[in-house]
Copies of this chain bind each other. A is one copy, B any other.
């Protein structure tokens, strides 16, 4: 068709065809001063950082990141950024790709509850790699996360649920815009350059839900990080995108959704923060099993019930629980993640249900099997998906009923910083060793005072 105009960008002047919403977002993301960001927003970003290190480091030896790291190493690059949890260093875009895949492999990374976006993985996978390569203080990194979270969550809200229902994997699509935002912020792009970064990201947004259940699902999260970072670098270099890449007639919103609510992009921008709708997963399995796990854990932690005291437990749950996690005879760790009976049994026996509870050995342990046989699942349309009711009959004749209304880790029931750090250690200690993991956690809690991310990265690298 028509050849493209050779127009060069003017970094100081916003193209007048940029839509009002994109203009406002671009200015907000580029111009908001880090010191003006609310402290509680930045604290959430810090929590997300610790959770990101946990999920990324914990899964780094899994097959998906290993294959991709090996493929990229064969093509080489400057050693600009660490593969977290290893001594390998790749060029920044490759590190973003691999760390983004790692952090999503266990499906244990955080969730923007209203849209099922996993926001943090693309944000920190790109932002950390870029900050390591090109510089940036700890506060810069937190601000890049907070602003990237805000933008990608708002775009997600503007497109949800139609975009998701068509079959797009939110983390792959709007996650790319988040990574571009975080990266552009760290690069200090002007408001006028921001729409080019967002446009390049929007037109690379990708990832089909058909890949759920395959290794390629986690590729989407890494791809979002990589493509977003590249978009910001290209915009910095002068690459030109269409002025209205989001809301234009053939832009992302129109092409990738049947409906959108662009007013959600900017309504209350700077006053209310999407990051307060973040969920952090306490258990290493599908989010629908979390309310019943909570209910069974409470039997032990609040009522002193031991496995051998249980005659039977009846779980009233949302119908999706049985549909998605109804395996009654799991034979592997992975199948255990799809068995609500196993997850609840191990949670009562070991006190929690983190990654280390889901092992091939645990799913066939006689004591676990015995308890599983005493747990029944009753699907009920009356139970919302964030709730569950456990009714336990004990061997001494007592009957206890526990009702969970907001599962642990959701905004209505936040996990504490201490609980978050426990999850982190559970994932990381086996890779880095306890001492180094503690050092890393300490540095994360103090990251707002760090003049660079070098000490963070050093602590995320195993000795030797």
> Mask for A186-230, Cβ within 8 A of B = 1, else 0?
000000000000011011111111111111111110010000001
Q: With a CB–CB cut-off of 8 A, which chain B residues contact A4?
A: 64, 105, 107, 213-215, 217-218
Cα-based distance from A404 to B421 in the complex (angstroms): 74
- A409 CB, nearest partner CB in chain B, Å: 15
Contact, CB under 8 Å: B237 / A216: no
Most buried by B among A80, A216, A238, A249: A216
The contact of A68 among B70, B166, B234, B252, by CB within 8 Å, is B234
- A2 CB, nearest partner CB in chain B, Å: 5
Known: A3-B106, A208-B250, A254-B167. A233 touches B77 (CB 8 A): no
- A39 interface hit (Cβ, 8 Å): no
- A412 interface hit (Cβ, 8 Å): no
Q: With a CB–CB cut-off of 8 A, which chain B residues contact A287?
A: 1
- A241 interface hit (Cβ, 8 Å): yes
Name the interface size band of chain A.
35 or more
Q: With a CB–CB cut-off of 8 A, which chain B residues contact A331?
A: none
- A37 interface hit (Cβ, 8 Å): no
- A164 CB, nearest partner CB in chain B, Å: 10
- A239 interface hit (Cβ, 8 Å): yes
Q: How many copies does the complex hold?
A: 2
Q: With a CB–CB cut-off of 8 A, which chain B residues contact A199?
A: 211, 214, 216
> Mask for A91-135, Cβ within 8 A of B = 1, else 0?
111000000000001111000000000000000000000000000
Report A37-74 residues with CB < 8 Å from chain B CB.
Answer: 62-64, 67-68, 70-71, 74
- A379 interface hit (Cβ, 8 Å): no
Contact, CB under 8 Å: B107 / A3: yes
> Mask for A1-20, Cβ within 8 A of B = 1, else 0?
11111111000000000000
- A245 interface hit (Cβ, 8 Å): yes
The contact of A91 among B77, B240, B254, by CB within 8 Å, is B77
Cα-based distance from A336 to B266 in the complex (angstroms): 40
- A355 CB, nearest partner CB in chain B, Å: 9
Q: With a CB–CB cut-off of 8 A, which chain B residues contact A209?
A: 250, 255
> Mask for A263-302, Cβ within 8 A of B = 1, else 0?
0000000000000000000001111100000000000000
- A248 interface hit (Cβ, 8 Å): yes
- A216 CB, nearest partner CB in chain B, Å: 4
Cα-based distance from A216 to B5 in the complex (angstroms): 11
Contact, CB under 8 Å: A237 / B67: yes
- A94 CB, nearest partner CB in chain B, Å: 8
Cα-based distance from A7 to B233 in the complex (angstroms): 35
- A400 interface hit (Cβ, 8 Å): no
- A193 CB, nearest partner CB in chain B, Å: 13
Q: List 27 A-B contacts (CB under 8 A).
A: A1-B286, A2-B107, A2-B286, A3-B337, A4-B214, A5-B213, A63-B238, A67-B234, A71-B230, A74-B78, A75-B80, A75-B93, A76-B77, A167-B254, A168-B255, A202-B208, A204-B207, A205-B206, A208-B245, A210-B245, A210-B252, A211-B245, A214-B240, A214-B242, A214-B243, A216-B240, A216-B245
Closest 3 CB pairs of A and B: A167-B250, A167-B255, A209-B250
Other A-B pairs beyond A1-B107, A76-B91, 9, CB < 8 Å = A3-B107, A4-B217, A6-B63, A6-B334, A8-B63, A75-B93, A203-B210, A208-B250, A210-B244
